[in-house]
Chains A and B, each alone.
Chain A
Amino acid sequence: MIDRGAASKYLAGRLKDEVVVTSLGNEKYDLRSGGDRDRNFYNWNAMGMASSLGLGLAMARPELKVIVYDGDGSLLMNLGALATIAMREPKNLVHIVWDNRSYAMTGGQPTATAFHTDLAAMAKAAGYPKVERVETQTAFERAADRALTEPGPWFIHCLMEEKPVAGGGLPSPTAIKHRFMDAIGARR
């Protein structure tokens, strides 16, 4: 099983111009602890919206690699996004899903992936051309390296074990937005 904190640290060390949009779960804290960047967009509470935000960004900025930092519970809330993303096929989108098989922020209740649901298989069936399912740090690093250099859309399904996250707290929503948009030179 992958340690999301260690994997996030690896990813943060590899990123240059790429942008990252997160879901509302603990993955956003690991991303921030792994290396806070102006090009990270942290999501306070819009459950399920990371994939759709990432698609919109990837459409508006085809020259930027857009990484979606999603969770199993969040993706399950917006499964239709898999079909929409596969249909639109943004080559600059990398959809990373951290699957801990639970709603970790609300007491660890099981999600559907704790039973029979396989998110990588769903992404493949939806039509994502590049799908990887990884369970170790080495496999994650290899998949991430490829996704950062080869066209997608990519779907990287990371089987992980939920651990207590470091850090905590986020800037205000508008501070996050302004910092992010300024960093990529987005017109307001």
Chain B
Amino acid sequence: MAWADSIVGVLKKYEVRYLNYVPDTKIEQILEAARELGGFEALPLTREEEGIGVVCGQALGGGRGVMLCPTAGLGNSINALAALAITYRIPCPVIIGVRGDLGEFNPGQVAMGQATQGILDALRIPTYRITREDETEKITEGALRICYASEGPVAILVTNELAGWKEGRKRD
């Protein structure tokens, strides 16, 4: 997808090498664009909290990584964001594939999806929503710039308005 190519192009421009992830259909489109472009290392994780630790470790070593996960995964990573990335002021870009929003079919995704913005706001994590393909490059680049300037976590939300919603089984 063109939006995924835009995100990956900006990641490369900012010398991000490590794509640490827990998968999601939107995240897979980013990983696919990255495989096509080349020059990245993708690391699958068992849980999103791990990924925050790994991104922070990569940053401490002078490398650049991002965490890629769905909204549900943000919930699994909160204390690591607070106690590591915010407390130690470590740049930690988190690219979140939105679930539980416009067009959602899965009731189990909705509570976390709807709470996402409020949780990020409560932690004072700068958060940027991408809703259109033509703004993807600018928002991704802007988010990375403030991330590395402020030395802390920043969230980029890949929305259903941009990437579509997932088809799935309806409730009985």
Contact = CB atoms under 8 A, between A and B. Distances in A.
Interface in B43-89: 43-47, 49-63, 65, 79-80, 83-84, 87-89
Interface stretch (A28-36, A41-49, A102-110, A140-148): A41-49
A60 B61 CA distance: 6
Given A44-B87, A177-B89, A177-B90, A49 B80 contact: yes
Tier of interface size on chain B: 20 to 34
Nearest to A185: B62
Contact of A53 (B43, B79, B84, B89): B84
Interface string B25-54: 000000000000000010111110111111
Given A44-B87, A56-B54, A84 B46 contact: yes
Contacts of B59: 56, 60
B62 A186 contact: yes
A48 B84 CA distance: 11
Contacts of A54: 57
Contacts of B62: 60-61, 181, 184-188
A49 B41 CA distance: 21
B22 to A, nearest CB: 10
A21 B53 CA distance: 11
B3 interface: no
A2 interface: no
B60 A49 contact: no
Contacts of B61: 56-57, 59-61, 64, 184, 186
B43 A41 contact: no
Interface in A59-94: 59-61, 64, 78, 80-81, 83-84, 87-88
A105 B151 CA distance: 30
A111 interface: no
Given A53-B53, A78-B49, A84-B50, A59 B18 contact: yes
Nearest to A68: B57
Contact of A56 (B44, B47, B58, B87): B58
Contacts of A186: 60-62
A53 B84 CA distance: 10
A55 interface: yes
A149 interface: no
A44 B53 contact: no
Interface in A159-188: 173-174, 176-177, 180-181, 184-188
A181 B172 CA distance: 55
B84 A56 contact: no
B79 A59 contact: no
7 contacts: A46-B84, A46-B87, A60-B58, A60-B65, A78-B47, A173-B88, A181-B62
Interface of A: 21, 41, 44-61, 64, 78, 80-81, 83-84, 87-88, 173-174, 176-177, 180-181, 184-188
Interface of B: 18, 20, 41, 43-47, 49-63, 65, 79-80, 83-84, 87-90, 151
